[in-house]
């Protein structure tokens, strides 16, 4: 009988991160079973409406229940723009639901009191900032936030202008780094700048690797409890 190494199901709001997260999980925990639920209408609706709609929240709730029904041990939410909605619908299932940006928020609060948050979407800037503030309160940390929206970079990304996207982000990070103790990149897609950061004088955090490691740790805790 083969050992059960556990199952993580990722809920995606677009196809953009499927390959990247599959590769990351394969690197961090190649023994686990990974499943994907993708609804690429979700992010488009969030962007068109300026935030999470009742319809988006309803579909997310259905996907969370579906993931639990698949026999998942942990559900991993890929999109920071729907993070607050995921927090709400996660109450409907008995298994852990891990946000991709949860550990990044914690590390930011541990790193310094002046936190800079950069996003290319306003729909992500607000919930990521709220998550960091809520995390700081839970840790009894006093922080200040500076928020930066990089105009046009998301459009560059969608148009396949990856160098333009990265250049705009790097310029924004470089300008912000002189005023804060740590820079938080609100969207997983922003991890593309990691190899290009060079001599940025403060830590620059991105969510995918931190989020994946966090999800795997939660999975290991679940499996350990099951075996006891």
Do residue 108 and residue 51 come from a single domain?
A: no
Count of Cβ atoms closer than 10 Å to residue 15 Cβ: 12
What is the C-alpha to C-alpha distance for residues 177 and 47, in angstroms, rounded to an integer? 28
Q: Are 41 and 63 a contacting pair, CB within 8 Å?
A: no
Assess whether 78 and 154 both reside in one domain.
Answer: no
- Looking at the fold, whether 93 and 120 belong to one and the same domain comes out as no
Residues in the chain: 228
Q: What is the pLDDT of residues 80-101, one digit of tens each?
A: 999 999 999 999 999 999 999 9
Closest residue by Cα to residue 179 from 202, 197, 205, 199: 202
172 and 213 both lie in a single domain = no
Task: Say what the pLDDT of residue 80 is.
Answer: 92
Do 108 and 188 lie in a common domain? Answer: yes
Q: What is the pLDDT along the chain (228 residues), one digit of tens a residue?
A: 346 789 999 999 989 899 999 999 999 999 999 999 999 999 999 999 999 999 999 999 999 999 999 999 999 999 999 999 999 999 999 999 999 999 999 999 999 999 999 999 988 999 999 999 999 999 999 999 999 999 999 999 889 999 999 999 999 999 999 999 999 999 999 999 999 998 899 999 999 999 999 999 999 999 988 877
Whether residues 176 and 199 share a domain: the answer is: yes
1 in a domain, yes or no? no
Backbone angles phi, psi at 200, to 5 degrees: -60, 130
Rounded to 5 degrees, what are φ and ψ at 124?
Answer: -100, -30
Please tell me the number of Cα atoms within 13 Å of 164 on its side-chain side.
11
Beta bridge partners of 35: 9
214: domain CATH number is: 3.40.50.1860
Assigned domain for 35 exists: yes
In a domain, 2, yes or no: no
If asked whether residues 93 and 126 sit together in one domain, one would say no
Residue 43 placed within a domain: yes
User: Among 224, 158, 214, 148, which Cα is nearest to 183's?
Assistant: 148
Question: What was the pLDDT predicted at 114?
Answer: 97
Closest among 175, 166, 178, 164 to 206, alpha carbons compared: 166
pLDDT computed for residue 199 by the predictor:
85
DSSP letter assigned to residue 92: G
Residues 84 and 144 in one domain: no
Same domain assignment for residues 90 and 128 = no
Mention every residue, 6+ apart, whose C-beta is less than 8 A from residue 39: 12, 13, 59, 63
- Look at residue 198 in the predicted model and tell me its pLDDT: 85
Whether residue 27 is found in the same domain as residue 110:
no
For residue 61, the enclosing domain spans 7-100+209-227
**End-to-end CA separation in angstroms for the chain:** 19
| Cβ atoms of residues 180 and 174 within 8 Å | no
Task: Report pTM.
Answer: 0.92
Instruction: State residue 44's pLDDT score.
Output: 92
Claim to verify: residue 187 and residue 161 sit in the same structural domain: yes
**Region of residue 6 (phi > 0: left; psi between -120 and 50: alpha; otherwise: beta):** left
Cα–Cα distance, 217 to 119 (Å, whole number): 27
Do 107 and 202 belong to one domain?
yes
The count of structural domains within the chain is 2
């Amino acid at each position: 009988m083969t050992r059960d190494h556990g199952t993580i199901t990722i809920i995606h709001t677009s196809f953009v991160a499927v390959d990247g997260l599959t590769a990351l999980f394969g690197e961090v925990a190649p023994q686990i079973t990974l499943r994907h639920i993708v609804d690429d209408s979700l992010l488009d609706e969030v962007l068109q409406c300026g935030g999470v709609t009742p319809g988006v929240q309803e579909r997310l709730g259905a996907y969370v229940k579906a993931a639990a029904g698949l026999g998942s041990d942990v559900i991993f939410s890929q999109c920071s723009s729907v993070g607050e909605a995921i927090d709400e619908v996660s109450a409907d299932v008995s298994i852990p639901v891990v946000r991709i940006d949860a550990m990044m928020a914690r590390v930011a609060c541990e790193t310094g009191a002046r936190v800079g948050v950069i996003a290319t979407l306003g729909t992500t800037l607000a919930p990521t900032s709220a998550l960091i503030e809520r995390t700081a309160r839970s840790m009894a940390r006093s922080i200040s936030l500076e928020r930066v929206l990089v105009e046009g970079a998301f459009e560059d990304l969608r148009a396949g202008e990856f160098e333009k996207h990265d250049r705009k982000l790097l310029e924004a990070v470089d300008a912000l780094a002189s005023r804060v103790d740590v820079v938080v990149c609100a969207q997983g897609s922003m991890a593309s700048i990691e190899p290009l950061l060079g001599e940025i004088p403060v830590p620059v955090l991105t969510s995918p690797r931190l989020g994946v490691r966090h999800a795997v740790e939660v999975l290991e805790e679940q499996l350990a409890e099951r075996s006891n």
